[in-house]
Amino acid sequence: MRVHATTLVVTSALIASSLVAGPSLAAPEPRGDVASRTSTQVVEPRRRLPALTAPSTPDALSRSLSQGRISEAVYALERARSLFDLAGVRARFGQVSRPDPRSATLVLRDLAVRTEQLSGRPRATADRILARPTDGGGDPLGDGYTVSEEPPECSADICVHYVDTTADAPDRDDLDMSGVPDYVESVASVLDHVWAEEVDGLGYRAPKSDATSDNDGGSSLLDVYLADIGVSGLYGYCASDDPHLGSSPYDYWDMSAYCVLDDDYDISQFGYPNPMHPLKVTAAHEFFHAVQFAYDIGEDGWLMESTATWVEEHVYDAIDDNRQYLASSPLAQPSIPLDQTSGFRVYGAWIFWQFLTEYLGGSAPDGSIVRAVWRRADGSRAGPDMYSTQALASAVGARTIDGTRWRFRWAFADFAVWNDRPARFYDEGDAYPSAPVSRSATLTKAARSMSSTAKLDHLTNRFVVVRRGSGLRADARLRVAVNGPSHGTGPEASVVVIRKSGAASSKVVALNSAGNGAVTVAFGTTVSRVVVITTNASTRYRDCYQNLTPFACFGGVPLDQNRTYSFRAEVV
């Protein structure tokens, strides 16, 4: 018998609930496979370029690109310039949006992979923007040091670079009289911890050696530079000067990196009373970008940012800085596709990876499913080089639960079930918002049924609440009949029954090949409400690698947007 994956997670939660007061949510029933899975397989070119990072709403720069007045390479250059010289970019193009300070790594990535398309003065400007702080005057638009650096503080894996004077210098306090500022030693200690957690603990590939770069920082170790980037609103970033980026015979995407962190995370610039908090989560986040570069520097942006934000939760669980993005997450905004790469959405999507690690990891989630996704996205010579959602579907599909090979579409539908009652599923769900309800209806003796129809885009969910009103039998039941699109387009449906006691259970609506199915659930006097969840779990695209959309497959066009989902709920 097929057992639902959520059962593995909820079992421990139900045991715990028997020891403390509070409601419990039983595991959803098994999700049936009623039709063969269809998908669109895309064979990608090895040297495809990633979709450009864009603001949440179009601005003068993105309009210039869409109108064909500038190339992708010039767009990437000017977007990178705006990180450090927004006024200069606005003087040329008009009202250009202030870049999200957390997007610096992807903005610089977009430029690094397109520098070969530039020449003359634009190419020289790009090289200066991508230069390391120790390149000094060669980095006039960025954060170049204007004085010579001090001897770097190096461990077995990482070198921390800094200067002793100018605005880029960290606090000079040296209470242990080691000859190295205490702050520099703290940064080195944080980075060593991050390396131990992400590489040694979680098993990710170490950042790639930069020995072949013109400026290797004095060794092949990962170089991290301290500079006053807070003055530009930046927390930290990683970039690459790997010569393979401009080497056409090298057809792969694994690249070295160097990173920059702020020199003090001063409260006046960042607002954190304890500067160690932004240092720690930024170090965990940006180091993971260096790890990602060693797999595939050109991967879909949503995968890069969401997993880097997710890893903060693993390395520094007690800080919980990533909760600030839940308001822009697929938990709080289920009608926006999971893979949308724009605004804070790319950070808020970390909650999906948290769900997946707990959902498939049971009582001891180790994040191995995220590593499995990156191994499939691996763009090195040895990797399969899948795009983000392709790698995701493959990694989930490789999991066997009680003898059943799992499927991504089941997992994504159960993600919605969890988000309806986060406090009963997620380890820290008491602090998470519940998914919003798009519609609510009350059934009575006089109005025994209701219907609802909506259009769903790919990788989205919709929640409708049906409440019990007056005049119904004490033992009434509710029949929910769903009419979705054909099975190959990714429809799923679930029904959650929440009782007045707070206890709840859920059932899967098994849909046939036409996308239709029904289920009957309790609707008696003990029931508080029933939540009907419809899901579009499609991961099909066309025109991949064309930078046409803000979605996966490198700007591919989703095939299953705006699909019609309807259901009828009737008291029986």
Residue 32, domain member (yes or no): no
**44 found inside a domain:** no
Do 240 and 117 share a structural domain?
no
Residues 225 and 153 in one domain: yes
303's CB contacts (< 8 A; 6+ apart) are 339, 373, 377, 388, 391, 392, 552
Angle between helices 72-84 and 104-112 (to 10 degrees): 140
E strands of 176-301, at which residues?
222-227, 236-239, 258-262
pTM comes to 0.91
What's the CA gap between 133 and 68, in Å, rounded? Answer: 34
Q: Do 265 and 149 share a structural domain? A: yes
pLDDT at 1: 25
Q: Is residue 204 part of a domain?
A: yes
438 domain residue, yes or no: no
Residues of the chain with pLDDT under 70: 1-47, 137-143, 247-248, 363-364
Select from 247, 281, 297 the last residue of a domain.
Answer: 297
Q: Confirm whether 560 is domain-assigned.
A: no
User: Tokens standing for 385?
Assistant: 């080089």
User: What is the distance between the alpha carbons of residues 356 and 364, in angstroms, rounded to a whole number?
Assistant: 12
**Within this chain, do residues 123 and 177 fall inside the same structural domain, yes or no?**
no
pLDDT at 137: 63
Q: Please indicate, yes or no, whether residues 122 and 216 belong to a single structural domain of this protein.
A: no
What's the Cα-to-Cα distance from 406 to each of 402, 409, 410, rounded to whole Å? Answer: 10, 9, 7
Total of domains in the chain: 2
Single residue among 280, 297, 314 that ends a domain in this structure: 297
**Burial class of residue 495, CB neighbours in 10 A (0-12, 13-18, 19+):** buried
E-state strands within 218-326: 222-227, 236-239, 258-262
Domain assignment present for 3: no
Q: Do 170 and 262 belong to one domain?
A: yes
> Do residue 117 and residue 229 come from a single domain?
no
| Sheet strand arrangement including 563-571 | 449-456, 563-571, 477-483, 516-522
| Contacts of residue 328, Cβ cutoff 8 Å, sequence gap at least 6 | 343, 344, 345, 347, 348
For residues 98 and 158, membership in a common domain is answered with: no
pLDDT of residue 108: 96
- Cβ neighbours for 41, distance < 8 A, ≥ 6 positions apart: none
pLDDT, averaged across the chain: 90
**DSSP letter string over 408-460?**
HHHHHHHHHHHHHSHHHHSTTGGGSPPPPPSEEEEE-SS--EEEEEEEE-TTE
> Are 210 and 112 in a shared domain?
no
Classified as helix, coil or strand, 557 is strand
Q: Where are the alpha helices (DSSP H) in 452-569?
A: 552-555
- Measured CA distances, 2 to 32, 356, 399, 402, 406 (Å): 8, 19, 13, 7, 10
Same domain, 148 and 287: yes
User: How far is Cα 351 from Cα 415, in angstroms, rounded to an integer?
Assistant: 10
Which of 130, 159, 180 is a domain's end point? Answer: 130
Burial (CB < 10 A; 0-12, 13-18, 19+), residue 67, is exposed
Determine the Cα–Cα distance for residues 339 and 349; give it in Å rounded to an integer. 8
Residue recorded with tokens 């969840």: 533
Burial of 534 (0-12, 13-18, 19+ CB in 10 A): buried
pLDDT score recorded for residue 54: 84
Is residue 116 classed as helix, strand or coil in its secondary structure?
Answer: helix
Q: Is residue 175 part of a domain?
A: yes
pLDDT score recorded for residue 367: 81
CATH number at residue 237: 3.40.30
Closest to 141 in 3D by CA, of 79, 95, 93: 79
Residue where the block lists tokens 């999906």: 352
Cα 226–Cα 316–Cα 277 angle in degrees, nearest 5:
45
- 210, containing H or E segment: none
Is residue 203 a part of any domain in this protein? yes
| Residue 120: predicted pLDDT | 95
41, burial (CB in 10 Å: exposed 0-12, middle 13-18, buried 19+): exposed
From 427, 453, 403, 442, select the one nearest 566 (Cα to Cα): 453
Domain that holds residue 277: 144-297
The answer to whether 459 touches 339, Cβ cutoff 8 Å, is yes
217: left (phi over 0), alpha (psi -120 to 50) or beta: left
How many helical (H) and strand (E) elements, i.e. helices and strands, does the chain have?
17, 18
HSE-CB at 235 with a 13 A cutoff on CA atoms is: 22
Give the H/E segment covering residue 158: strand 158-161
User: Do 193 and 290 fall within a single domain?
Assistant: yes
Is residue 218 domain-shared with residue 275, that is, in the same domain?
Answer: yes
